Structure 1
């Protein structure tokens, strides 16, 4: 690089000067690429759960933009040389260009053999920098020979323009690809339609939506989606299906897979709780069933499930509400956190607003028994008011007034 810069200055060759400037930027680019490899290997932490692997893509984007800037600068300088030709020391230009070509060939071969330039976007951008340097040296040699044998003064700027076009093309490609990854676009090798068909090929999957496929870096791919399954599937069956789908996606090259299951019904059935009504046995017997169902379906701790299940059963019996519905409401509203409080002032397991219900339910709505009893009372009242459990659920979420005034909410119900 230093030899080409001095040689270009002494010989007045734009081809050598542009190649020297290009090599200077390449040295910086290679430094960034090496730093990206080192930083990308750092382990993840709570602030950066995926680690620093995407730094590789940031480095590639910087290198791509640098290539574009360099090529445009060379192009402008070449146009000026066309308008104002300058004398060039051909022999010195040829010697320095040959030296540059030799060094660039060695570096290019070392990078080609020692790194994954086909799949690693960061190393590919660095390799393109070196390759464009090599082409610049070739161009300088060709220009020197044309000047030596034919005295073509325009050969030097013309060669610079041709090299700048090649550099510009590579820079644009790298920048577009790295931008696509940073924008979390779908990788070219994956078809969302085909992936969706693969998932829906399983008879248990009724629907697939919110499907997203993106890249963390040049080699690691991520997928997330929601699938709708039958209400009648047991938790163990759902888990088996998820394991099959995860392995299927990993076989396609998608390393990190997150699939969320849903049902068509507004009421989420608690696994293993088919008969929890008054005719299903004693309160203790039904509470034991419900406790197991809460642990399996909602991942509630054993202590919490054992403590809340009898309260839910008794409140359900009192107000003639399905205990599974009360459980689903508690899961939706507080995820079984009796100390939960929303910004709007709703409190407890069922997220009840005291100003609306304290006179009927009692003032201590953080009390688990009081809150569950109030939740069942509200659901029962809304059922009598709306005439169906689906309306009762909608009323619980948005209120009777909110439901009646919203066409969208009514349509969803």
Structure 2
């Protein structure tokens, strides 16, 4: 017997969170463009690095929005799990771009440290643009502060913005140093600091993407614990052929064969057991989609080898 259940969609997929993400994205993307223009006009590499850092925030917000939109699209005969995997491919592209940007910024930063007299940075203009970036990030954090408590994807975007807030603060410090002392290497040092902040985030994103594409169990998921938990239900003899993976972040999928006492099937209690197992997965392990195959103990169809 087969059955499956879907946990209620919520969190990021709510229209309220989607509006907040859209507004935050608009602010972040606008300031990113302002920083790029400001970097060109002022000659500041730190501003350009901070714009790259804000690109990470914009990308995180875009990915979060994609997750909310594609998750709402129904599955079809070609894509039986729907379109949630689109978020993963978007994250892969994002991570690659981040690594390239960080490498460019780091190379240019080291070059400027070695030849500080080659570039003249307009400190006052750099300071004004950096302050605008700081304010924009603070506003975005405020917009997402409530929703991030109930949505893992919104929280991810919130933490990205928080990281960029630190980057903007570093640019402000560098600008103040340039304005007050005229020491130009401060700009290159701030840009290297921001590049160092970008790389670990890109690597973490890549690892997450590869984990999803490799269909590994979600981080923090203890398969043995789930198996033990389900096996404790009355009438369950064994739980085997357990597979756990995720379509995208926060969308785990679970399948298993459940061996039960023959009397449970004879008494027609299998449907009630399935409901209990699915509720257990949804409530205790946050599994969105679960599928079980129920088998009577001693059945010739049972697997000889248990996964």
The Cα shift of 1:53 comes to 2.7
Q: Secondary structure at the match of 2:148?
A: coil
Bigger Rg over Cα: 1
Q: Residue 292 of structure 2 aligns with which residue?
A: 259
Q: Secondary structure at the match of 1:254?
A: coil
In structure 1, how many angstroms separate the alpha carbons of the residues matched to 2:156 and 2:282?
28
The Cα shift of 1:210 comes to 1.0
Pick from 235, 241, 247: which aligns with 2:279?
247
Alignment gaps of 5+ in structure 1: 269-408
Moved more, 254-263 or 23-32: 23-32
Contact kept, 8 Å, 1:119 with 1:218, in 2: the verdict is no
CA RMSD after TM alignment: 3.1
Task: Specify whether residues 22 and 49 from structure 1 end up closer, same or farther in structure 2 by C-alpha distance, changes over 3 A only.
Answer: same
Moved more, 149-158 or 258-267: 258-267
Q: Residue 159 of structure 1 aligns with which residue?
A: 190
Q: Secondary structure at the match of 2:82?
A: coil
Does 2:81 correspond to 1:11? Answer: no
In structure 2, how many angstroms separate the alpha carbons of the residues matched to 1:38 and 1:147?
45
**1:159-215 alpha-carbon deviations (Å, 9 max, x no partner):** 111111112222222332343233332223432111111122235333221112223
Pick from 136, 160, 165: which aligns with 1:103?
136
Task: Specify whether residues 102 and 240 from structure 1 end up closer, same or farther in structure 2 by C-alpha distance, changes over 3 A only.
Answer: closer
Q: Residue 182 of structure 1 aligns with which residue?
A: 213
The Cα shift of 1:158 comes to 1.1
In structure 2, how many angstroms separate the alpha carbons of the residues matched to 1:16 and 1:220?
37
RCO higher in structure (CA 8 A, sep ≥6): 2
The Cα shift of 1:50 comes to 2.3
Q: Residue 235 of structure 2 aligns with which residue?
A: 204
The Cα shift of 1:10 comes to 2.9
In structure 1, how many angstroms separate the alpha carbons of the residues matched to 2:64 and 2:280?
34
The Cα shift of 1:97 comes to 1.7
Matches within 5 A, 1:43-54: 43-54=74-85
In structure 1, how many angstroms separate the alpha carbons of the residues matched to 2:239 and 2:126?
64
The Cα shift of 1:117 comes to 7.3
The Cα shift of 1:51 comes to 1.9
Q: Secondary structure at the match of 1:179?
A: helix
In structure 2, how many angstroms separate the alpha carbons of the residues matched to 1:116 and 1:90?
36
In structure 2, how many angstroms separate the alpha carbons of the residues matched to 1:172 and 1:117?
25
When the two structures are superposed, what TM-score results if normalisation uses the length of structure 1?
A: 0.56
When the two structures are superposed, what TM-score results if normalisation uses the length of structure 2?
A: 0.73
**1:117-149 alpha-carbon deviations (Å, 9 max, x no partner):** 77433x455445544443332221111122233
In structure 2, how many angstroms separate the alpha carbons of the residues matched to 1:137 and 1:199?
49
